[in-house]
Structure 1
Amino acid sequence: MKFYARLILFLVINFGALGLGAYLMNDGPRTTWYANLEKAPWTPPGWVFGFAWTTVMICFSIFMAKLTEAKNNSTIITLFLIQFVLNVSWNYVFFNQHYILLGMINLILLTGLIAFMTFKFKPQLKIYTLFILPYFVWMIVANSLNGYILFTN
């Protein structure tokens, strides 16, 4: 499969994950439960989350398309699927079920996985590794926001 075909495939899957996550959060950011939480002073306005996730998923799709071009094996697909499950499930765990601690564990695991993928595949992807960095940075922000909520509520 050519690079652009893989890119489109990953874009569809990654934006599908965002859609599924939004569905599973059950109006999470607009609920009374979330509104009443003590949130971090650095919590960005709502529109930033949409912009950030759009940027993250475009860049991550490029990263995955390049990675599967350089090396296409079951380990890469398995890591991608674990990332997918962790990414989507956080919305349900945190917003729908209100399990703040479990949400934090979920984010820590996802951040660790993204860090692992960053360093594991850097030798193959070289400069294209930069395309996973927005995901890693956004996970650090997400961890800080979730952690603040966990420790202050």
Structure 2
Amino acid sequence: MILRIFLFLVINFAALGIGGYFTGKGVPSEWYASLNKAPWTPPGWVFGAAWTSIMICFAIYMAFAVKIVRNLRVLIILFSLQWVLNVLWNPIFFYFHHVATGLVIITALTILIALFCFRYWSNLKAKSALILPYLIWMIIATSLNAYILWNN
């Protein structure tokens, strides 16, 4: 179990690292600072703390899931798609400034995380609570992206 958790931690934090690399200056950038942001936008430090917590919980969730879920192939495909969408959003939004495309990506990622939550709930039961922070954060992040699109 510890080895599976470690493996998913490495994979999850690799996604954050790659996405972060393409974010550039990200939140403190002049472009982002000049945007009209939602009143519920958290301070910059919250993003790092939230993603760290989310990826730790998600690694533990996936470590349980690969052991319990019957169709491992589907689980890995969904996980891989989640990974790609997670990595893609940062450069699309922060580097290329494609806010609308970012909204499409983040909406797809939110739906995918909800799919994880509900599809595997019966297999993972209470362990599914480990993915709830990811789903909640994605709903918030999607709303922030949508606000920026509609108000800039």
TM-score of Structure 1 vs Structure 2, range by shorter chain: over 0.9
**Structure 1 ranges of 4+ moved more than 2 A:** none
The aligned counterpart of 2:133 is: 134
Instruction: Map 1:25-40 to 2 at 5 A.
Output: 25-40=23-38
- Say which SS state the counterpart of residue 92 (structure 2) adopts: helix
2:116 corresponds to 1:109:
no
Instruction: Map 1:69-108 to 2 at 5 A.
Output: 69-71=67-69, 73-108=72-107
**TM-score, length basis structure 1:** 0.96
The aligned counterpart of 2:142 is: 143
- In the alignment, residue 115 of structure 2 is paired with which amino acid? F
- Say which SS state the counterpart of residue 28 (structure 1) adopts: coil
Instruction: Map 1:4-23 to 2 at 5 A.
Output: 4-23=2-21
Query: Over residues 59-97 of structure 1, what are the superposed CA-to-partner deviations in whole Å (9 max), with x where a residue is unaligned?
Result: 000110000011261111110000000001000100000
1:54 Cα deviation (Å)?
Answer: 0.6
CA distance in 1, matches of 2:108, 2:37: 22
> Which residues of structure 2 form unaligned runs of 5+?
none
Percent identical pairs in the alignment equals 52
CA distance in 2, matches of 1:83, 1:92: 16
1:21 Cα deviation (Å)?
Answer: 0.7
1:114 Cα deviation (Å)?
Answer: 0.4
CA distance in 2, matches of 1:147, 1:67: 31
Query: Over residues 91-129 of structure 1, what are the superposed CA-to-partner deviations in whole Å (9 max), with x where a residue is unaligned?
Result: 010000000000000011000000011000011100000
- In the alignment, residue 82 of structure 1 is paired with which amino acid? L
The alignment of Structure 1 onto Structure 2 pairs a total of residues equal to 151
- In the alignment, residue 123 of structure 2 is paired with which amino acid? Q
- In the alignment, residue 127 of structure 2 is paired with which amino acid? Y
The aligned counterpart of 1:49 is: 47
Cα RMSD after superposing both structures: 0.8
